[in-house]
Amino acid sequence: MKTKECVAQLKSLGIDHRTSRYLLKEVAGVSNFLLDPEVPDSTCRKIFRYAKKISTGYPVQYALGYSYFYKNKFKVNRHVLIPRFDTERLVEEALKYIEPTSRVLDCCTGSGCVGLSILCEKHCDMTLSDISRGALRVAKSNAKSLHLDPHITRSDMLSDLTKYDVIVCNPPYIKSGDIASLDSAVQHEPILALDGDVDGLKYYRILKDQVREHLRPHGVMLVEIGYDIQDSVIELFKDTFRDISTVYDYGNNPRVVILTNLINPNIGEWL
Ligand SMILES: C[S@@+](CC[C@H](N)C(=O)[O-])C[C@H]1O[C@@H](n2cnc3c(N)ncnc32)[C@H](O)[C@@H]1O
């Protein structure tokens, strides 16, 4: 079948133009649509099988079993959040603080996309942690595919872990009441990866309570935030860190909060 005809049939299944092109590129290797190349029948059948699932709102990345993030391809399935482009800002910023001797934690690692992307760029002692066993299996598989060997451990936030120089964390931060109104593809992602409780702040509160025990005195913690919770997150951490700054994503939304200089609660000074 010709590519154009394939796109037309996908449209009749309710697949939008962008997704059709993505499927054809990924599954059939079509890169130049103007040439309207022939797609083998067996490949077309495969594409239509994916399309049937996607037409019900199932995410294209889960259908294919992978997603792209930063410079690599990551396995994904229903146990992990599909890595978001905006989260690449977390990687870019974290890299500025990491040295070869740094002990680094990617808390709430999911697919491992953040910690593994960092580890691809810089040698360091990296730990990936998550509470979800399913997510940890995916992170492990991604580490293997990238020929990386981080520590991978199950932990409820920081509670079962040691001390680090750098902690990166993209916690669940969607307000519970907002989840139902999100895109149908998001409804297929694990609720454990999305739900930040009524105000979206549940996991930042836990980090605030635990961080003094798990960050070295001159360490840094970088957390991803939702575009509308910047002020609340800063307010939450203002008695724990002396220096707090925000980095914006490429859509110009506040995306990463950088926390440095832990305050010693006893003397009100830096630790
Ligand atoms: C927003 S996802 C981030 C996944 C990945 N780091 C990324 O950026 O794509 C949040 C992750 O937090 C994990 N999580 C939820 N509750 C947790 C807890 N109490 N302790 C550790 N991880 C938790 C979820 O399983 C999920 O993988």
pLDDT at 29: 94
Instruction: Assess if residue 264 is contained within a domain.
Output: yes
Using the predicted structure, report yes or no on whether residue 21 has a pLDDT greater than 90.
yes
Q: What is the pLDDT of residue 270?
A: 54
Atom 4 of ligand 1 has which residue's CA nearest to it?
A: 110
Could you tell me if 100 and 123 are in contact, meaning their C-beta atoms sit under 8 angstroms apart?
Answer: yes
For residues 32 and 138, membership in a common domain is answered with no
Residue 64: inside a domain: no
**Helices 88-95 & 113-121 angle (0-180, nearest 10):** 40
What percentage of the chain has pLDDT greater than the value 70? 98
Residue of 117, 131, 167 to test ligand 1 pocket, by largest number of atoms within 8 Å of CB: 131
In short, whether 83's Cβ falls inside 6 Å of ligand 1 is yes
44 and 152 belong to one structural domain? no
Q: Taking residues 83-108, what's their average pLDDT? A: 98
Ligand 1 lined by 256 (C-beta under 6 Å): no
What are the tokens at 183? Answer: 């895109």
Query: Are 166 and 242 found together in one domain?
Result: yes
Instruction: Please list, in sequence order, all residues whose beta carbon lies within 8 angstroms of the beta carbon of residue 134, skipping any fewer than 6 positions away.
Output: 77, 78, 79, 80, 190
Q: Are residues 75 and 36 in the same domain?
A: no
Task: Identify the pLDDT of residue 267.
Answer: 61
- At 264 the pLDDT is 78
Residues 49 and 75 in one domain: no
Identify the H or E element spanning 260.
strand 254-264
Q: Alpha-carbon distance 241 to 265, whole Å?
A: 10
**Domain containing 9: what range?**
3-56
Q: Is the CB of 207 under 6 A from ligand 1?
A: no
Which DSSP helix (H) or strand (E) runs through 193? helix 191-194
Rounded Cα distance between 268 and 217, Å, is 14
Q: Residue 271: its pLDDT value, please?
A: 53
pLDDT band at 234 (very low <50, low <70, confident <90, very high): very high
Spell out the residues 6+ positions from residue 76 whose beta carbon is closer than 8 angstroms to its own. Answer: 61, 62, 65, 66, 67, 82, 83, 111, 138
Say how many Å lie between the CA of residue 110 and the centre of ligand 1: 5
| pLDDT tens, residue by residue, 190-216 | 999 999 999 999 999 999 999 999 999
CATH number of domain containing 189: 3.40.50.150
Spatial neighbors of 34 by CB under 8 A, at least 6 apart, are none
State how far the Cα of 65 lies from the Cα of 76, in Å rounded to an integer: 5
User: Is the same domain home to 107 and 47?
Assistant: no
pLDDT tier for residue 147 given thresholds of 50, 70 and 90: very high
Specify if 79 maps to a domain.
Answer: yes
pTM equals: 0.95
> Residue 164 C-alpha to ligand 1 middle, in angstroms?
18
Within a domain: residue 63? no
Look at the alpha carbons of 172, 175, 180, 186 in this order and tell me if their dihedral is positive or negative. Answer: negative
Residues of the chain above pLDDT 90, percent: 90
Cα 265-229-243 angle, rounded to 5 deg: 35
Our count of domains for the chain comes to 2
Answer whether residue 119 shows pLDDT above 70. yes
pLDDT of residue 109: 98
Both 127 and 250 in a single domain? yes
Q: Chain-wide mean pLDDT for the chain?
A: 95
- Do 107 and 198 lie in one domain? The reply is yes
User: Which of 29, 56, 83 is at the close of a domain?
Assistant: 56
